[in-house]
Structure 1
């Protein structure tokens, strides 16, 4: 997996919200330390994932583990995980982003 090397604040190619396969999507998480999640989905699989901000080592590990996984599997394994006394976590916010992508893809197909 090739990490996204663009620092937060510098424009990267993002899609128009339609969930176009293979294009970078940007999600701004809420209630966590990370400031942005950039990811790509192709063929129902997470192909690239990068977090800006947050616990650097843990999020690099999460990105490496999730790469190549089916979106539905990521959601099933990581949804609902909390961080400390927060009601969410970076992993849970990733699932929120992935669920939104699936919904956009379904809407485009309909």
Structure 2
């Protein structure tokens, strides 16, 4: 399982599994459990690029980022590894 340390949001880390560019599993550590679980289920089965295009740039209360945006950043970081 891959891991990404978040910045500027309530969740502290995102863990995820990718197989052949398809999202298999996402787990948010801390943060809002209901929203995190919802986002995790919605991206399951998507390609990384599709999830990034849907989530990137979502803002939470003027923070300049959000848990979905941090997930997009995690996927982008995974792609450039």
TM-score of the superposition, structure 2-length normalised?
Answer: 0.97
* CA distance in structure 1 between the aligned counterparts of 2:64 and 2:13, rounded to whole angstroms: 18
1:54-73 aligned at under 5 Å gives the runs 54-73=31-50
Measured after TM superposition, the shift of residue 85 of structure 1 is: 1.5
Q: Which 4+ stretches in 1 moved above 4 angstroms?
A: none
Measured after TM superposition, the shift of residue 51 of structure 1 is: 0.2
Measured after TM superposition, the shift of residue 88 of structure 1 is: 0.2
RMSD (Å), alpha carbons? 0.5
Structure with a larger share of its residues in helix? 2
Aligned residue pairs total 81
Structure with a larger share of its residues in strand? 2
1:75 aligns to what? 52
Q: Which SS does the other structure have where 2:59 is aligned?
A: coil
Residue segments in structure 2 that go unaligned for 5+ positions in a row: none
1:93-104 aligned at under 5 Å gives the runs 93-104=70-81
TM-score of the superposition, structure 1-length normalised?
Answer: 0.72
